[in-house]
Amino acid sequence: MSIEDLRNLRRDLHRHPEPAWREFYTTARIVDELETRPLDALYVGPEVLGEDRNAVPDDDELDSWMARAREAGAREDIVERLAGGYTGALAVLERGEGPTVGLRVDIDGLPILEADDDHRPFEEGFRSENEGFMHACGHDAHATIGIGVIDAILDSDFQGTLKVVFQPAEEVIGGGEPVVAGGHLDDVDYLLAVHVGLDHPSGEVVAGIDGFLAVHHLSVAFTGESSHAGARPEQGRNANLALATAVQNLHAIPRHADGATRVNAGVIEGGTASNIVAEASEMEVEVRGETTDLMEYMGEHAERIVRAAGEMHACEVEIESVARAPSAVSDPELADVVGAVASGVEGVERVLPSDALGGSEDATYLMQHVQERGGKAAYVGIGTDHPTGHHTPRFDVDEESIRIGIETLSGAIERIAVERP
Amino acid sequence: MSIEDLRNLRRDLHRHPEPAWREFYTTARIVDELETRPLDALYVGPEVLGEDRNAVPDDDELDSWMARAREAGAREDIVERLAGGYTGALAVLERGEGPTVGLRVDIDGLPILEADDDHRPFEEGFRSENEGFMHACGHDAHATIGIGVIDAILDSDFQGTLKVVFQPAEEVIGGGEPVVAGGHLDDVDYLLAVHVGLDHPSGEVVAGIDGFLAVHHLSVAFTGESSHAGARPEQGRNANLALATAVQNLHAIPRHADGATRVNAGVIEGGTASNIVAEASEMEVEVRGETTDLMEYMGEHAERIVRAAGEMHACEVEIESVARAPSAVSDPELADVVGAVASGVEGVERVLPSDALGGSEDATYLMQHVQERGGKAAYVGIGTDHPTGHHTPRFDVDEESIRIGIETLSGAIERIAVERP
Amino acid sequence: MSIEDLRNLRRDLHRHPEPAWREFYTTARIVDELETRPLDALYVGPEVLGEDRNAVPDDDELDSWMARAREAGAREDIVERLAGGYTGALAVLERGEGPTVGLRVDIDGLPILEADDDHRPFEEGFRSENEGFMHACGHDAHATIGIGVIDAILDSDFQGTLKVVFQPAEEVIGGGEPVVAGGHLDDVDYLLAVHVGLDHPSGEVVAGIDGFLAVHHLSVAFTGESSHAGARPEQGRNANLALATAVQNLHAIPRHADGATRVNAGVIEGGTASNIVAEASEMEVEVRGETTDLMEYMGEHAERIVRAAGEMHACEVEIESVARAPSAVSDPELADVVGAVASGVEGVERVLPSDALGGSEDATYLMQHVQERGGKAAYVGIGTDHPTGHHTPRFDVDEESIRIGIETLSGAIERIAVERP
Amino acid sequence: MSIEDLRNLRRDLHRHPEPAWREFYTTARIVDELETRPLDALYVGPEVLGEDRNAVPDDDELDSWMARAREAGAREDIVERLAGGYTGALAVLERGEGPTVGLRVDIDGLPILEADDDHRPFEEGFRSENEGFMHACGHDAHATIGIGVIDAILDSDFQGTLKVVFQPAEEVIGGGEPVVAGGHLDDVDYLLAVHVGLDHPSGEVVAGIDGFLAVHHLSVAFTGESSHAGARPEQGRNANLALATAVQNLHAIPRHADGATRVNAGVIEGGTASNIVAEASEMEVEVRGETTDLMEYMGEHAERIVRAAGEMHACEVEIESVARAPSAVSDPELADVVGAVASGVEGVERVLPSDALGGSEDATYLMQHVQERGGKAAYVGIGTDHPTGHHTPRFDVDEESIRIGIETLSGAIERIAVERP
């Protein structure tokens, strides 16, 4: 695929951002591309994933996104294979004796309304057509890099097996565990994962990112009792007030001297009418920690606070654990190979051996799995000039970094097969 | 219409509760009934209302309720006349020389999920078919009483003009003002409005209810800035946190020594994902006061609190005034006539001259309008055994009180025409 | 005592405001006056009160106020009789056959810093000499009226027994119960209590005040764990944060449709240094209700909220019930006599039969006690122009109302003895 | 001074903890000791400090601590020299040609109630005699080490000048700046500061501590309006509610991805009585950051939140900047010398080249000052088994670490004079 074709692919994906487990168009587009290549195997949706998954939307929601994918031109036969929201794909290339190298790219978008001014995707006509959703974290570029790496390896002397997994549902920390459960990574000797940007400008490469925040995502429901807010305010048990108290106090969990922590009550919703005391309210909360212990410290406080907020307003509380991801580290030997290759790639001006992510990632599940079985893993950062931060309405990538990503990763894969670090 | 027919009508309306400005099935059903009667005029939807209306849903929402009404069997020709959510109807009977008497009944339902156990409408098969919506305030009975009163007057010696308005959108304090603006009440000499229940058991009648709480309904939007909650928490301006602070402090507005006040942040919503600092949040708030002054006291505090909550978290704040209704009083001379008639109605065991509503009502707009033009108004309470409070999932009425309401109101209308109190 | 002497007495008391159970100077001054009159009995301090008392300060605090009283010129022999904070006095006049009439006046001041500008007591040289304390509720006038009534009765033809109780500690709802327990009111047939102002101007008299809010005063202590706020924030259990959460949510207890409620976290205190997570915090809270039931509704919510706030921040909670007072009603027959007499008093322009206090009073204990034993009670309001509200730094009384109070009450006492209403 | 004498000195200081600017007994005790030694100069109180100081208590408070010091046996002539709370001392030894080496020890205690069970100082009879105050951070050991180092250098071959500053008011970040302003450090070539414990056990030494949190201490006052909480709640402007809102939201300032931050509303106070809406409230707040920028980020948020909390409840807000301290770093060349010496000290099992403090210190002012003038500085940690964390009621030190501290520091001072690192 030419650089121009890759750019067009990325822009097509950018126009069709799909959130977790709803990547129907995206998967279909990727599979459609992959089928034109001489692969040794191509697994689609349920063939890639284990059965247990978190944060899967209900059937109505899935149906509406399947319909939207079809309208956007997704191939019907592929969409059908993804029923139930089993999205994603995995391509396998077998090229003789050699180690099995895995590459993981993620493909989902975010529920963010994309900007329609002062924003290149808008100006150049590839702004999101799924209003309210957006590729605001560069996963459109990641998927494109995945295709580009396959092409590059097909053109190379690589000896060994390459598995490229196009993982769904990273943004909800949902896809990592099912990909592991799917079993395709059990024989992987070396795993690379990739992310663009992360506040590194175009021309920088981070060979092995560390500092993943462990994360726990909780769903909380308060159930009180409705009453007429004018006539019988005292008969209500106010689920909105319980939620407000919880939100305030969650954000006030004491900081921890052992390292970074995070908390966010990202989604809140409650009540039915202004004149009814709210019977029910819900929120989506996440806590993070620089280590798994710190994440658990935050989680214990969060749970205690939420339960007490319910008691305070005589509401029942249900807490559901939606998703978790551990922390992880890149193996320095593997990162060294990546770094050495990157130094020789055109356009790369600076290679950092490591840097802290400062966020969370469910790639850590894949990395842990490979490492626990004796393999090595590295999470590679490909710098890209992004005008605003990740997860904001004007996020964009410098498309030149797609080429850098492809050359760095395919070069590293070739050399790994030789050097077996 | 026989008592049994009236009961069936009420149950049919109960099965099809429609919230404010979406009373398509309800209006069609009422108009369908009215067309079989020898009326002198029948105004439908936009013919009844002024143009300016509050809290009208968007076209998608209206369309989906129109479609639902059609599916439920509403007459297409009537539904079409209600386009744009101009719902409701007004029937006119002219019966010779005499005063013009108005009767106002309201017809809308509530966004409450009706109970499906321990609840007669469920057991006897007339639970709401519009899942999540419910006649939890007895407006199904009110509409039925309106029809019954027309039949009773048709059978009577009443001399004068009767206007019965089937008012939409009471629950959002939305229909009262447009009904006044529609002009049909300009010549009304005596206005009666009716409500069932209000914590009065079957057999009680309140001749002239007072103590309406003035009410102001506000819609509040906070706009902050999204950021990645793990990687860049400090770059967010958290609209959920602003809202939580506002909710807590709104409910803490100081009580007032001059009389009853109320506040409720009934609906809250904010954010898009657990890992994104919420850029936007919204809430629906109402304040009330025993007098208009007290309502304004609450409103001023509410506005100040909401603005400061925004500033506190560096969010912009927009406050929209959605709806207001004043306080009002029943004219004792008119209430006396109602009370005298009620005493003679079978099944009435106790007549109270007056009682405090303790809630709000946009009937106050109609009452004020008639009173300002020299007429008299009374708000009549018809007791009914209701197993749980108004606006709760197990609310129901004793259908016997429908007959009592019809006999009390039609009897009062007849006598008003004679006595001209 | 001449009107001028009475004014001087009131101003002397105003210069020496003493809070609850610390009325050493005040009691001494009153007793000193009373001893010059031909009384039949004079009870001082512990002779007036039962033993159990609420909200008594510790010995250091009592000692410092005793010392201050002595410095201000209080008679040493009287101060000594008040040891332990048993303050107050009771004068008895026996004047032949007739009913026993009681009059209750309260004598304590408030912990408010008196204004030093735009304030008559400052300009005319009788501002508080006890910095931070103030007669901001008119009890200086009440005590003066008590003396004046005794003089008036001494000069009258009154037949019966008069008991005037100078009650301490009204502001903490502390003195009423011990006065009842002291037993001196057991034989009282008619009890009058008096309050100046209450938003009634000079020239108005309220014959029988009702609408006392029942009140419950709670003392709350949170105990967490201290830690270094910089080095080990996570090891703290923050008692200040628990308190802040409680304060916010206490004020947000739902209003009640059955009547007026109140809540106030009037005093808060916590922590020891800015760099230490607060181990302990305390607050003084009161709840009130238009009825005892409403007060208890508030109290139950308050307790639940406070306990949950503690749990939320892993703090222990102790709640102490400091004081309570019930609601009460004035007997209309007795009020009628007061009203009739008041109409004839010079300067009285308007007599209201009744009005709602809208506050709390431990006179209700005395009233209940007399009423339960078959007697009658009325709480009399003597209007007075007060420039600002009760309990504010610029509160003052129109001294002319002292004369009106004396004439109204002494006249009523005389007539009660005759009419025995 | 023998090891036993040193232990007794430490215990005597422990029995007499004095908070910032009130170290009258402590200074007197130190000066009394120093006067028995052949010093070249001894500066006391105002001779050591610049004039501008933060967080100095009022005269009443100072007087009461001066009185307490005298009662405890402090020498009158020394106490008098400390009038105005100019506490602390500085000893100078001139021993021929050589560099000027400074040693800084701090001497103040904390407002913490010392435990009276399960606590060695209680069991062995040297628990605090100043109830409510405690040496809970080891400054009693620091002062003792200061004396011990002087003795050791007197016995040594040290060539150069030694200045030991016994600094007051570290706990309020108050003493550092005035010591710098006093000018005695202007000619210091090498500065050492020392702290025991910091979660390092006995036998560990940290040669050069880094990771000082920059800190800003703010004093906040809310002024609202008092009113009678029962009779006129709506006329109050509730300063306690403003404070509670501020406390909650201060602790919820977003964490920052660039590094550690802290916030603590350590002291709160408001209101005068449970039945008065609080007119005034105050709090002592501190914010910290791993860098000065992060501290300023926290400070800006804190100020905005506090101001908005005032506006929300219609209260005026005053914010006073009480104290600040920057971050600082230990010079590795100097730390190397300390580390090398420490390795040879009996009882030292482990020497760490550096570690993060994770707290704040106004020693950073002294370090910055020396470094800006071309000198070098290191902050030395002397491990000590402490049963509970710093700033807690059961904090204690292993007295053996006093000897280790003296030998490490005096050895380092000798070697510095030789090696001039």
Going along A148-306, which residue ranges are E strands? 160-167, 190-196, 204-210, 214-223, 261-270, 280-289
Contact across the interface for A358 and D257, Cβ inside 8 Å: yes
Together in a domain, C167 and C39: yes
Q: In a 3-state reduction of DSSP, which class is residue C24?
A: helix
Model pLDDT for residues A379-413, shown as the tens digit of each residue: 999 999 999 999 999 999 999 999 999 999 999 99
Chains touching C (3+ CB pairs < 8 Å): A, B, D
Contact across the interface for D312 and B305, Cβ inside 8 Å: yes
User: How deeply is D119 buried, as exposed, middle or buried, from its count of CB atoms within 10 A (0-12, 13-18, 19+)?
Assistant: middle
Which residue in the set C236, C249, C256 is minimally distant from A254, CB to CB? C236
- Is B282 annotated as belonging to a binding site? no
Pairing between β-strand B204-210 and β-strand B190-196 as defined by DSSP bridges? unpaired
B252 contact C CB<8A: yes
Q: Residue A359: CB partners within 8 Å, gap ≥ 6?
A: A198, A212, A213, A390, B228, B230, B231
Distance of CA D325 to the CA centre of its chain: 11
Model pLDDT for residues A99-132, shown as the tens digit of each residue: 999 999 999 999 999 999 999 999 999 999 999 9
A254 contact C CB<8A: yes
Indicate which of B215, B241, B247, B255 best probes the interface with C, i.e. most C CBs within 10 Å of its own CB: B255
Together in a domain, A135 and A245: no
With bands split at pLDDT 50, 70 and 90, how would you rate the model's confidence at B292?
confident
Contact across the interface for B311 and D304, Cβ inside 8 Å: yes
| DSSP state for residue B234 in the 8-state scheme | G
Report the distance separating Cα D166 and Cα D1, nearest Å.
18
Q: By CA distance, what is B254's nearest residue in D?
A: D234
Residue whose token pair is 């822009």:
A11
Which residue in the set C249, C257, C261 is minimally distant from B255, CB to CB? C261
Together in a domain, A248 and A313: yes
Which residue in the set D238, D254, D258 is minimally distant from B254, CB to CB? D238
Q: What pTM value is reported for the model?
A: 0.80
B321 contact A CB<8A: no
Which residue in the set B232, B238, B312 is minimally distant from D309, CB to CB? B312
| Residue A381 near residue A198, CB atoms below 8 Å | yes
Contact across the interface for A255 and D248, Cβ inside 8 Å: no
Q: By CA distance, what is B252's nearest residue in D?
A: D241
Report the distance separating Cα B145 and Cα B140, nearest Å.
9
- Is B195 annotated as belonging to a binding site? yes
pLDDT of residue B356: 81
pLDDT tens digits in sequence order for chain D, 421 residues long: 899 999 999 999 999 999 999 999 999 999 999 999 999 999 999 999 999 998 899 999 999 999 999 999 999 999 999 999 999 999 999 999 999 999 999 999 999 999 999 999 999 999 999 999 999 999 999 999 999 999 999 999 999 999 999 999 999 999 999 999 999 999 999 999 999 999 999 999 999 998 889 999 999 999 999 999 998 999 999 999 999 999 999 999 999 999 999 999 999 999 999 989 999 999 999 999 998 899 999 999 999 999 999 999 999 999 999 888 988 889 999 999 999 999 999 999 999 999 887 777 899 999 999 999 999 999 999 999 999 999 999 999 999 999 999 999 999 999 999 999 9
Tokens representing D359? 């707290």
Summarize the confidence of residues B374-385 as an average pLDDT: 97
pLDDT of residue B1: 87
pLDDT of residue C179: 97
Model pLDDT for residues B299-340, shown as the tens digit of each residue: 999 999 999 999 999 999 999 998 889 888 899 999 999 999
Chains touching B (3+ CB pairs < 8 Å): A, C, D
Chain C residues whose beta carbon lies within 8 Å of the beta carbon of residue B260: 255, 257, 260
Report the distance separating Cα D228 and Cα C138, nearest Å.
13
ipTM of the complex: 0.76
pLDDT of residue C300: 97
Together in a domain, B393 and B411: yes
Domain boundary among A266, A294, A324: A324
- DSSP letters of A389-405? -TTSTT----THHHHHH
Which residue in the set B249, B255, B358 is minimally distant from C257, CB to CB? B358
Which residue in the set D248, D260, D358 is minimally distant from A252, CB to CB? D248
CATH of the domain at D320: 3.30.70.360
Together in a domain, D137 and D31: yes
For chain C, how far is it from start to end, CA to CA, in angstroms?
30
Report the distance separating Cα A264 and Cα B231, nearest Å.
12
Contact across the interface for A358 and D261, Cβ inside 8 Å: no
Cα distance from A213 to chain C (closest Cα, Å)?
18
Together in a domain, D31 and D176: yes
Chain A residues whose beta carbon lies within 8 Å of the beta carbon of residue B231: 198, 357-359, 389-391
pLDDT of residue D79: 97
| Residue D216 near residue D363, CB atoms below 8 Å | no
- Is A315 annotated as belonging to a binding site? no
Contact across the interface for A252 and D257, Cβ inside 8 Å: no
Which residue in the set C112, C217, C231 is minimally distant from D274, CB to CB? C217
B404 contact A CB<8A: no
Residue whose token pair is 């033809």:
C157
Between the alpha carbon of residue B310 and those of residues A269, A342, B219, the distances in Å are 18, 47, 14
With bands split at pLDDT 50, 70 and 90, how would you rate the model's confidence at B54?
confident
Together in a domain, A286 and A377: no
**H/E segment holding residue B105:** strand B100-106
Report the distance separating Cα D224 and Cα D246, nearest Å.
14
- Is D315 annotated as belonging to a binding site? no
Contact across the interface for A272 and B225, Cβ inside 8 Å: no
pLDDT of residue A359: 75
Pairing between β-strand C190-196 and β-strand C204-210 as defined by DSSP bridges? unpaired
Model pLDDT for residues A204-261, shown as the tens digit of each residue: 999 999 888 999 999 999 999 999 999 899 999 999 999 999 999 999 999 999 999 9
pLDDT of residue D118: 94
pLDDT of residue B13: 98
Between the alpha carbon of residue A192 and those of residues A161, A376, D64, the distances in Å are 14, 9, 69
Together in a domain, B198 and B125: yes
Domain boundary among B284, B300, B324: B324
Together in a domain, A190 and A45: yes
Together in a domain, A205 and A345: yes
Domain boundary among B309, B324, B339: B324
Together in a domain, C127 and C263: no
pLDDT of residue B323: 86
**H/E segment holding residue D95:** strand D89-95
Of the candidate ranges A357-371, B133-147, B199-213, C110-124, the one whose mean pLDDT is the lowest: A357-371
Chain B residues whose beta carbon lies within 8 Å of the beta carbon of residue D234: 254-258, 297
pLDDT of residue C90: 98
Chain A residues whose beta carbon lies within 8 Å of the beta carbon of residue D261: 255
D261 contact A CB<8A: yes
Chain B residues whose beta carbon lies within 8 Å of the beta carbon of residue A274: 172, 217, 264, 266-267, 284-286, 322
Cβ under 8 Å to B: A residues 22-51: none
CATH of the domain at B404: 3.40.630.10
Cα distance from A210 to chain C (closest Cα, Å)?
24
Which residue in the set C232, C258, C312 is minimally distant from A309, CB to CB? C312
- Is C61 annotated as belonging to a binding site? no
pLDDT of residue A292: 86
Contact across the interface for B312 and D304, Cβ inside 8 Å: yes
Closest CA to B406 of B356, B348, B329, B359: B348
A314 contact C CB<8A: yes
Q: In a 3-state reduction of DSSP, which class is residue D131?
A: coil
pLDDT of residue D218: 96
Domain around D67 = 3-212+328-419
Tokens representing A276? 């009814």
pLDDT of residue A265: 98
B308 contact C CB<8A: no
How many domains does chain D contain in total?
A: 2
**H/E segment holding residue A154:** helix A139-154
Question: In this predicted model, which residue has the larger pLDDT, D322 or B345?
Answer: B345
pLDDT of residue A1: 87
pLDDT at B203 exceeding the cut of 90? yes
Together in a domain, B302 and B409: no
pLDDT at B92 exceeding the cut of 90? yes
pLDDT of residue C359: 75
Cβ-Cβ pairs closer than 8 A, C with D, add up to 222
The low-confidence residues of chain C, meaning pLDDT below 50, are: none
Tokens representing C79? 């101060």
Contact across the interface for A264 and B110, Cβ inside 8 Å: no
